Amino acid sequence: MPFSRCLHCCLPFFLAGLLPSILPAAESRPNVLFIAIDDLNDWTGFLGGHPDVKTPHMDRLAAQGVSFGNAHCQAPICMPSRASLLTGTYPHRNGIYVIEQNYHDAPLLKEAVTLPQHFKSNGYRTLGCGKIYHRANDHLDGRDWDAYQPGKGWMWLKEIVGPKGVSGLPDPSIFDFGPVNVEPSQMGDWEVTDWAIERLREKQDAPFFLAVGLITPHLPHYTPQSFFEAYPEDQISLPNILAGDLDDLPPMGRKFTRYFDSTPMSHHNITRHGLWHKAVASYLACATFTDTCVGRLLGALEESPYADNTIIVLWSDHGFHLGEKMHWEKRSLWERSTRVPLVFAGPGITARGRTCARPVGLIDIYPTLIDLCHLPKPNSDQLQGHSLTPLLSDPDAKWNHPVLTTHHPGNHAIRTERWRYIRYANGDEELYDHDSDPNEFYNLAKSKAHTEIIQELRTALPPSCADYAPRLPRQKFTQEFDWFSPD
């Protein structure tokens, strides 16, 4: 047989022998347990955001992997934050800025491949439950999920509680908090966790991407009584507050604190009714309830055949104010609204038990997971974040990527390891030194000694912002507000 013909005949077998070393076999690829939490700020034990919080299960996960102590969302509100994470694109690039938008209506995302879609197209079985995308109908897209189980949402308990609520606030609507007379097993997140646990007990014939979306501590802040009892109101520490904290804010900064002034959840309303301690206790109870759900997931994984071959990533979509800067909820560009829990654990994460202080964003999750799972990039220019894999082996590795957070076009925060710089759409500025001022009490933007720092941080601002993608009618629980003028 001529050599050329022999080579032609043997080449397929030769390549077949090489392929396992080039592309990992499907059964050898790690699984992914993707735990999404709604509205959880840094009030966890491993982040030290509140002295009274009890989150033993998340703390245990952090001890088993790498936790990021300086992780931030790309938008301080659900829809744009999740759209950014799940497409790997920035809000100022994709045009998703508010709740009243659908990510798939954005012209700049028409060709985007979502994170679960990318795993599905690369041989993974994609399983989702609870809140992963912001809208329930986004979960029903067959491109993303092989199976999906919706949860109860975040308003079903209002039907049990009734219009008077449990907080003591007059006409609380969604802005309610306190214990409710239900069993833990009746809670929507508990049921979502049950569904995910059943998937972990099943035999999976392909590597899986299992996404579990826990809604608590989204408003209303309800938990079963037993969780609330763990936080006696008279023993709860309130957030650190500085008298006159708003005095050195520029006009736009002060305006951001007024978003909830016309609602029951304004700082003045909560304090004049003497409910600040109860509100903080309710949020802490919600954090502990969510931690219990996380613990049930981790326990089920440890008892499953997949314990040694599953990457776990836990994250929250944005932070939450409870009176800091006299502000409540999210929708700000300060630390309390942007800092989030982010933990990676499992195969490929070698710096276990370490905390990384480098500034990272939720936008970095997509490229990190496809690196850890040896998947190709969706295309050459979609992903705008950075893979965190260097930091998962060496949390002190060199890292020159400031974090960008955007709230409506032109309003941006830049976070480095030391500094937070905010520039509003009208040109107003704030600067905080986290080495000496972790509570962001002292705005240094007008200090001549910090002129060069501000000039350097300005270079990280995006040069332009995409227009709003198509918008839906304003929702019942959002306020009419001008985010561009201090008047």
Q: pLDDT tens-digit profile of 60-107?
A: 999 999 999 999 999 999 999 999 999 999 999 999 999 999 988 999
pLDDT at residue 122 in the model:
97
Structure tokens at 484: 């561009």
pLDDT at residue 134 in the model:
86
Asked if residue 154 has pLDDT above 80, the reply is no
At 294-313, the pLDDT tens digits run: 999 999 999 999 999 999 99
Mean pLDDT (whole number) for 138-163: 82
Q: In 10 A of CB 217, how many CB atoms?
A: 29
Mean pLDDT (whole number) for 37-49: 98
In the block, residue with structure tokens 């964003």: 361
pLDDT at residue 8 in the model:
40
Catalytic residues: 78, 134
Mean pLDDT (whole number) for 25-39: 88
Hey, where are the domains in the chain? Answer: 27-401
Asked if residue 412 has pLDDT above 60, the reply is yes
Domain range 27-401, CATH class: alpha beta
At 183-192, the pLDDT tens digits run: 999 999 999 9
pLDDT at residue 180 in the model:
95
The pTM score is 0.94
pLDDT at residue 46 in the model:
98
Structure tokens at 1: 């047989």
Asked if residue 14 has pLDDT above 50, the reply is no
4 pLDDT tier (thresholds 50, 70, 90): very low
159 pLDDT tier (thresholds 50, 70, 90): confident
pLDDT at residue 18 in the model:
40
